[in-house]
Amino acid sequence: MKWKSVQHWIEYALLRLAVGTLIRIPRRTADRMGAALGRLGYSPLRIRRNVVEANLLKAFPGQAQEWRDDIARRAYEHLGREMLAMLRLSRLDREDIISQTAFTDEGDADALYRAKGKGAVIVVGHFGNWELGAATMAARGYPLDVIAQRQANPYFDRYLVAARERLGVRVIERSRAPKEGLRGLRQGRLVVFGADQNAGRSGVFVPFFGHLASTHRGAALMAIRTGAPVIMALPLRQPDGTYLTRVELIEANPESIHEDNDVAMEILTARFTARLEGAIREHPDQYLWHHRRWKTRPPS
């Protein structure tokens, strides 16, 4: 057996051990453990801390250094808590998920209900607890497809897909998104896109905290092709450890934005990116600052 396969087996065994342990301890204890792990990542381990600090400086140049340092530390604590919450999620059932989640009753929350059976593009970011946000929709009976990148570890990938599907979330590999996502929308399903990662040269450049950021086109293009509404879901952790998902209608009829699909795609992508930025400004400690969001620069 090759060393890489051995490494994958070891990682998978540790994952199963962690899940088996976490599910036996109270949720608040797991939250405290996760926050402590996050603080270790912040200091002394300094995992991706240079990236986090550079991103916060880029996003909030007018804030004091002490403020950015505090947000960075809290973002690490949040990430630690949510990582353990995601591991626990694989063993929860529908009732468990519903008991610790809710939807906001503000704004366009009923847009999700109106889309049921008709299809909608759901846009999420690496904000709050994005895995639980998907699970809470599926637990409430919404037919859900999630566009996801395959994991490097095949055992972990199969485990994650099985855990999502057990909760009612159908997984579509990113490479199959154009075909399978389109089919899902036409079947009246909700198709979830993560839309806040660097998309390289193939992305569209839209403003994000005052700087152009390469953003995946898929969500906007799929909505424009089908006319499906675009809805943003923001699953926020509350002070008591439960989650409140804010659901907001971004565009009811994307195909009518502009006759030129390329222009329409850019407009729609900029709209939901701006809304995500607004939510992050309200809760900057719940965002994943550890990703090099502005890595790809636009052509001069």
pLDDT, tens digit, for every residue of 182-227? 999 999 999 999 989 999 999 999 999 999 999 999 999 999 999 9
HSE, side-chain direction, 13 A CA sphere, residue 26: 4
| Position 12 pLDDT exceeds 80 | no
Give 109's pLDDT tier (boundaries 50, 70, 90).
low
Beta-strand relationship, 204-208 and 211-215: antiparallel
pTM of the shown model: 0.91
pLDDT, tens digit, for every residue of 116-154? 778 999 999 999 999 899 999 999 889 999 998 877 777
User: What average pLDDT score do residues 21-29 get?
Assistant: 86
Greater model confidence, 99 or 21? 99
In the chain, pLDDT over 90 holds for what percent of residues?
61
Q: What's the pLDDT score for residue 118?
A: 85
Greater model confidence, 3 or 125? 125
Q: What's the pLDDT score for residue 2?
A: 67
Q: What's the pLDDT score for residue 67?
A: 98
| Position 106 pLDDT exceeds 60 | no
Residue 216: Cβ within 10 Å count:
22
pLDDT, tens digit, for every residue of 251-280? 888 877 766 788 899 999 999 999 999 999
Instruction: Give me the residue label for tokens 């704004």.
Output: 107
Give 166's pLDDT tier (boundaries 50, 70, 90).
confident
What average pLDDT does the structure give for the chain? 89
Q: What's the pLDDT score for residue 112?
A: 78
Q: Which two tokens stand for residue 4?
A: 């890489």
